[in-house]
Amino acid sequence: MSTWLTNCRLIDGIANRPTVDMAIEICGSKIGRILQSSALETEDVIGADDQIIDLKGRTVMPGLWDSHMHLTFFIHTRQDFAHVPDLAIRGAQRAQDFLESGVTSCRVMGDESGVDFALRDMISRGEFLGPRLVIAGESITTTGGHAYDSSGIECDGPYEVRRAVRQQLKRGADFIKIMMTGGIMGEHEGFGSTQMTPDEVLAATEVAHFAGKHVAAHTGGVHGVEMAILNGVDTVEHCYALDERVAKMLAESGVVCVPTLVVTDSISLYREQGAPEFALRKLEMAREYHRRSFRHVLNTGAKFAVGSDLPAAKVNGVVPTVREMEIMVELGAHPMTVIKGATSCPADICGLGEVVGTLTEGKIADLLIVEGCPCQDMKLLENPVAIMKDGQWIKNLIE
């Protein structure tokens, strides 16, 4: 028995424009045939027991990816709920909140508690409801470096870095995250201050790549981004302060930028969550640099993916993944490129491009259904009328 979604607009995550009057077959957990709706009248393709859902022109698109999020990043963690049981419950709730907003896959960027490993495996086995999780485990930082006091393993020199990377691989990490520069939440550091040396970065990328894993680098400043490109990093996160020269290097190298613009767009959220004054000052200072940096990314044609990095599952009632997409469009990105940055691009980064990220025959059926066309109005993604993961409805408001 199959389910047919008929009379729909299709954004498949590959083409540069939607196709209309389409029919999509869902067979178990996967996408079956994709045809013109008119073909259903002339070809004998629908079985007697198949379900037909007329979407009346609504848009079907791949489920969203958030390429930079944390399950256990809470501003007040250390004061209020630093114990693993508390983090596990709150992390599980956050995962479910993302899924119920249309984010069917997440790249999780660091967690010292082990909650991310447990949730990834439970979700994969079907024991818990949540998005598909691709996780880094503990991030690799330097002594006193960014996140040393939360999710980071302190290392100095290439030998210590290699050991720390291997420890995460031993735990079952899907990729490796390194902290190359300072950031917003570190009190005694600038958000662009370089903290790793080239030999330390190269040590991390060599060991990870030997194991077939990609490397994501927290990089706030231009020097950190340049060092990342030259030493084999696969994605650069945040990029608060880029110049045109290094943006061109990004474009030429194929390294993917995950800008997390919603971080500096959400200062009021950080204030409400109790962020310290030094962090609020840095957010204010970084905001315009951040937006200018993303315009350099757009002007040079560098690849980018959608990630959020907020300490909450919602910002002003909207999942931060979608808010990030809206900001990108506001700053001049083409809506279809942004959609690819939240679907096919991250799937490819994570080595899952043959499995998810696009709506093509044989792929896993992760999808959203929205009213209208998000290429014309990205805000439509704030309220999907239906969400499916692994061929199962998470939400379905279609009459």
Distance CA 321, CA 332 (A): 17
Q: Which fold has domain 3-62+358-396?
A: Urease, subunit C; domain 1 (2.30.40)
- Portions of the chain given CATH number 3.20.20.140: 64-349
Closest CA to 232 of 192, 183, 176: 176
Average pLDDT over residues 62-83: 81
What per-residue confidence (pLDDT) applies to 287?
96
pLDDT of residue 151: 76
34 pLDDT more than 60? yes
Q: Which residue has the tokens 């209020």?
A: 80
Cα–Cα distance between 195 and 70 in angstroms, integer? Answer: 22
pLDDT score recorded for residue 152: 87
Confidence of residue 82 (pLDDT cuts 50, 70, 90): low
Class of domain 64-349: alpha beta
Residue pointed to by tokens 């999808």 = 367
Which of 390, 397, 375, 392 lies closest to 61 in space, CA to CA? 375
Per DSSP, the three-state class of 120 is helix
Supply the pLDDT for residue 112. 76
Angstrom distances, CA of residue 147 to CA of 14, 100, 154, 181, 195: 36, 29, 9, 10, 12
Q: Which of 78-82, 152-156, 292-296 shows the lowest mean pLDDT across its residues?
A: 78-82
Identify the CA nearest to 207 among candidates 172, 163, 173. 163
Alpha-carbon torsion (121, 124, 128, 134), positive or negative: positive
- Return d(Cα 372, Cα 390) in angstroms, integer: 24
Quote the pTM value: 0.96
CB neighbour list of residue 10: distance below 8 Å, 6 or more residues apart: 18, 19, 20, 22, 24, 34, 59, 60, 61, 359
How do residues 355-364 score in pLDDT, each as one tens digit? 999 999 999 9
Domain with CATH 2.30.40.10 in the chain: 3-62+358-396
Write out pLDDT tens, residues 225-239. Answer: 999 999 999 999 999
Structure confidence at residue 213 as a pLDDT band (50, 70, 90): very high
Say which residue the tokens 């993302």 belong to.
98
| Residue 295 neighbours by CB distance under 10 Å | 15
Query: Residue 58 is which amino acid?
Result: R
CA 222 to the chain's CA centroid: 22
Quick one: pLDDT at residue 45?
82
